[in-house]
Structure 1
Amino acid sequence: MEALQQAFAQVFGNGEGELFFAPGRVNLIGEHIDYNGGYVFPCALDVGTYAMARRREDGLLRLYSMNFKEQGVIQADLADLQYKEEQDWANYPIGMISTLLKSGYCMTNGVDILFYGDIPNGAGLSSSASIEVVTGAAMNALFNLSIDGKELAILAQRAENEFVGVNCGIMDQFAVAMGRKEHAILLDCDSLDYSYSPLQLADHSLIIANTNKRRGLADSKYNERRKECERALTDLQQNHTLHNLCEISPSDFEQWKDEIGNDVDRKRVRHVVYEHERTKEAARVLASGDLTAFGNLMNDSHRSLREDYEVTGHELDALVSAAQRAGAVGARMTGAGFGGCTVNLVRTNDIQSFMEVVGREYEEETGIRPDFYVVEIGDGVKSLAFHEA
């Protein structure tokens, strides 16, 4: 906190800012489910984005990232907030502030904000949602906007959809805003009903493994998968009253699958229907402390993402296979796919040997050195008072 305060004074001049933190997130199971209206099972992490913020007397926004120092201070006018390519990372906080204003929240002054993030770049742990939510939390506090966590998540999703132009679901922003230490969130992405599920990992740990493969295909394939799901839903709506694919049970799917127009769309729906069941089952088995059953569900999830949804790719498959051979209780890709990260459930005593063996085997297979992060399950967005340091 002292280092951030010193950097803030250096960049923006003397005077203190208020400090806020929003975590990154990982989805434990329930992949590509959020935009199909079903349950997902994310948790907030202990890494994330710090924002130190202070009101100004004029209408300027001045934004600075310690992760992108070479870009200097990025400036925008509160009266004319627009998406601009050259604003780069700053489009996320600018988009959040623009969304707050368009939603009727009153902010008459500009702000200075300094950001620092310890989420690994490009890892798929949702740094974009983290920076949106932490910006919203700072504005909420500085201008007394009285926004609750759920509304903050909805506004952050809107910022990413409408300002940044990424057609994401609600899961990332919800997990970042509403996370709870040592709990996962069972979230219904259709109704936004949710419950907290204790993560009693006992003598096990979660390890995020980064393929270090840039997710070049992820955005285009994400949009393609959404279209395939929408097309299949339209086929099924000819004979059934359905709002989204996650209303379909496995027995419904087996009865109705021939009504889906082509084989590819049918495979996509098979993943969605059975992954949705796995997600609900995961919350049940974790509540009873059955980590072996949870690990099996993770493994089944990856298999379905590889064979039916086809969003894994060579690197993710190599990393998961190496993890399973090295004794992971469960291993699966997490995020959009085509690179990014895997999430692994590993016995705590085996962490060091697991990372050594998987790292070696993955590098031999792909020529890329992976990175590993042993993560703790943290809280959602919060204000950090200096006396807590």
Structure 2
Amino acid sequence: MGYFEQYTGSGGEDFRVFFAPGRVNLIGEHTDYTGGYVFPAALSYGTWLGVRPRTDGRFRFFSTSFDKQVDIGADELAYSAEDGWSNYPKGVLWMLQQEGHAFPGYDFVFHGNIPNGAGLSSSASISMVTALALRDLGQLPLTTIDLVKLTQRMENQYMGVSCGIMDQFAVGMGKAGQAMLLRCETLEYEYVPLELGDYSLVIINSNKRRELADSKYNERVAECATGFAQLQKQLPHVPNLGNVNAADWERFQEEVTDPVIRKRLEHVIRENDRVKRSAESLRQGDLLAFGDYMRRSHESLRDLYEVTGKELDALVEAAWKAEGCIGARMTGAGFGGCTVNLVHRDQVDAFKRAVEEEYRGKTGLHPDFYHCEIGDGAREIERGVEPCPFW
């Protein structure tokens, strides 16, 4: 018996299975909510969702990762802290209801292999796979970009997290073997081949849970808004912080009177420039330059944006010292979670040993290492076509 029947029982209509990946952001951190540039890629890790329609108007949510199960009606979709992880699919249902869509009820069974709390966008993966399933099952006239926008609004309005659109976009629009250079203000994007030659992407989970991430994230969003309001007095035709270039920042940075907020804006403006330069270095096959931009990004996140924390810093510093590593940085919101590393494939094992020893010595924590393929975005899984834990 597969996962689906274990939770819902057998019988009734056959179920369908959908998948949405996690994502890793190669560079461009805390730039998306200012309308700037990011450079993410979808992973082969992700969330599978088995769905079967019901006829009684009930929605049942199960997960192979959490004991909490939720059984509610269409008028019971309000956010509830007690419902934990299921608020993400509940929120997607709620958003679609607000837009006038109705559903007959469904059984949902989620199964994921994204490390929980690692900063690889398990929440966006859950939200996007739910939105995709509801669209396809309900035959709704919505594009993937529509679903990307809807799941971001859900995070903002329902979950209360002032996130940008990068996570949802990468999860929805990913393409195997490609990174995405995305301008978050306009959703203009292009795929850039992730041709790493003799190097591999190694993701390391610090196993430091991201307890501060949401609260500090919202704090940084507010700091950027405050600083840009001051800066805009000299740049009235610039619509958002993501459009401020380095030259204008050099001229007008003293308009931002608080030195802490000035540091926040310094990071965002320089990071936007690094993203564009990093994408160009990959196009030209200059991996050493790309690795150097990764290093500078982490230093800026540590010193100017102050979202790394001692665990991520220890992990990145251990990677910088390890032979065969040409680039390492934190990825995600920060305060725990993961790092992304560019390591020569012949030295990956030695790299892992060296990093684990130093990191454990400094923090007492054991890191987990992941070798990830860059995969496709959200999609339905056809039985017998792709491997799937539901059958």
Partner residue in 1 for 2:107: 112
Contact 2:161–2:218 at 8 Å: present in 1 too? no
1:381 aligned to 378, 381, 385, which one?
Answer: 378
Residue 256 in structure 1 maps to residue 247 in structure 2: no
Matches within 5 A, 1:49-60: 49-60=47-58
Partner residue in 2 for 1:369: 366
SS at match of 2:298: helix
Contact 1:59–1:79 at 8 Å: present in 2 too? no
Partner residue in 2 for 1:82: 78
Stretches of structure 1 lacking an aligned partner (at least 5 in a row): none
Could you report, residue by residue, the CA deviation over 1:107-150 in whole angstroms, capped at 9, with x for unpaired residues?
A: 33000111000000110001000000000111111111132111
Measured after TM superposition, the shift of residue 265 of structure 1 is 1.4
Contact 2:234–2:252 at 8 Å: present in 1 too? no
Residue 33 in structure 1 maps to residue 31 in structure 2: yes
Partner residue in 1 for 2:346: 349
Letter in 1 for 2:361: E
Superposed structure 1 runs of 4+ greater than 4 Å apart? none
Matches within 5 A, 1:264-283: 264-283=260-279
Contact 2:290–2:327 at 8 Å: present in 1 too? yes
Contact 1:216–1:338 at 8 Å: present in 2 too? yes
Separation (CA, whole Å) in 2 of partners of 1:103 and 1:354: 50
Letter in 2 for 1:306: R
Stretches of structure 2 lacking an aligned partner (at least 5 in a row): none
Letter in 2 for 1:77: G
Could you report, residue by residue, the CA deviation over 1:224-258 in whole angstroms, capped at 9, with x for unpaired residues?
A: 21121111111112222121112111111111111
Contact 1:38–1:189 at 8 Å: present in 2 too? yes
When structure 1 is superposed on structure 2, of 202-211 and 355-364 the one drifting more is: 202-211
Contact 1:124–1:335 at 8 Å: present in 2 too? yes
Partner residue in 2 for 1:214: 209
Partner residue in 2 for 1:302: 298
SS at match of 2:22: strand
Contact 1:54–1:142 at 8 Å: present in 2 too? no
TM-score, normalised by the number of residues in structure 1: 0.96
Aligned positions, number: 382
1:163 aligned to 158, 161, 170, which one?
Answer: 158
Separation (CA, whole Å) in 1 of partners of 2:230 and 2:327: 35
Residue 135 in structure 1 maps to residue 125 in structure 2: no
Cα distance change on mapping 1:108 and 1:309 into 2, 3 Å? closer
Task: Kindly report the root-mean-square deviation, in angstroms, between the aligned alpha carbons of the 2 structures.
Answer: 1.2
Measured after TM superposition, the shift of residue 214 of structure 1 is 1.7
SS at match of 1:166: coil
Matches within 5 A, 1:143-222: 143-222=138-217
Residue 243 in structure 1 maps to residue 239 in structure 2: yes
Separation (CA, whole Å) in 2 of partners of 1:112 and 1:13: 10
